[in-house]
Chains A and B, each alone.
Chain A
């Protein structure tokens, strides 16, 4: 079982690739169909966000183990200009690029854990986690 993957995100077409990669990996961890859809949607949103703000970046997937459960970890890393108003970016409806502004707050609702670090001029890293169901 592959436990790590990196998908370069350079254009909108890569977003679909990233989603499917996330879906495949999550499928191996026993997530329900609803969870798979939520994960794929969250990946889509953060990848899209990267292409809007930074033009390109990487979508990284790996699996952690905590308390005998598997955790899917999704990281969106770019070296773009950074998000200036982080608090605003996490509010619904706020968008500087003319979109619906749902991306980051939406992704946060879809996943269990969500962190974002952004430094002006250096780049942005979004880390999201979702806990797989206990092995029954």
Chain B
């Protein structure tokens, strides 16, 4: 099931619909990398609100997306991790220290806009 990716200004928003198989995750990664280059996106939001499980593979994929897009000059924010998913992730040991997270789409966009307005490039921290 392809994951829809929308463009909003210079941001890309990928909304994961439901259970994400390994191949879905891989395809998301590939497509985002393509899009980022093509449209010169400065920010990416991956919305995982609909995911009821984030396991080590999904976690690894999301981190890879964040790292690789940073190399292309874009910030990635993962939004919408649900309470019970966050809980299970920390038990599992997935902590995403080096990946930005936000509560939801609204917060994610606010974060990206702050980054852009302040003139930070994606590799400043």
Interface residues of A (CB under 8 A from B): 12-13, 15-16, 19-20, 23, 33-34, 36-38, 40-41, 44-45, 48, 92, 99-100, 102-103, 105-107, 109-110
Report Cα–Cα, A16/B52, bound state, in Å: 11
Q: Judge whether A105 and B21 touch: CB under 8 Å.
A: no
Report Cα–Cα, A12/B58, bound state, in Å: 12
- Say how far B64's CB is from chain A's closest CB, in angstroms: 11
Q: Contacts A15-B22, A34-B88 hold; do A102 and B93 have CB atoms under 8 A apart?
A: yes
Q: Judge whether B93 and A41 touch: CB under 8 Å.
A: no
Q: B43-102: which residues lie under 8 A (CB-CB) from chain A?
A: 52-57, 59-60, 83-85, 87-89, 91-94
Enumerate chain B residues within 8 angstroms of A15, measured Cβ to Cβ.
21-22
Subset of 24 A-B contacts with CB under 8 Å: A12-B22, A12-B57, A15-B22, A16-B19, A34-B83, A34-B84, A37-B52, A37-B53, A37-B88, A38-B88, A40-B53, A41-B53, A41-B54, A44-B55, A48-B57, A99-B60, A100-B56, A100-B59, A100-B94, A102-B94, A106-B56, A106-B92, A109-B91, A110-B88
Q: Contacts A13-B22, A45-B92 hold; do A19 and B53 have CB atoms under 8 A apart?
A: yes
Q: Judge whether B84 and A48 touch: CB under 8 Å.
A: no
Q: Contacts A15-B22, A37-B84 hold; do A110 and B92 have CB atoms under 8 A apart?
A: yes
Enumerate chain A residues within 8 angstroms of B87, measured Cβ to Cβ.
34, 37-38
Interface residues of B (CB under 8 A from A): 19, 21-23, 52-57, 59-60, 83-85, 87-89, 91-94
Report Cα–Cα, A109/B92, bound state, in Å: 7
Using CB atoms, name the residue of chain A closest to B59: A100
Using CB atoms, name the residue of chain B closest to A93: B93
**Which residue from A13, A36, A100, A103 sits with its C-beta under 8 Å from B21?**
A13
The 8 closest A-B pairs by CB, nearest first: A12-B22, A106-B92, A44-B55, A37-B84, A34-B84, A37-B88, A41-B88, A102-B93
Q: Contacts A37-B88, A92-B93 hold; do A102 and B22 have CB atoms under 8 A apart?
A: no
Q: Contacts A38-B87, A109-B92 hold; do A12 and B19 have CB atoms under 8 A apart?
A: no
- Say how far B86's CB is from chain A's closest CB, in angstroms: 9
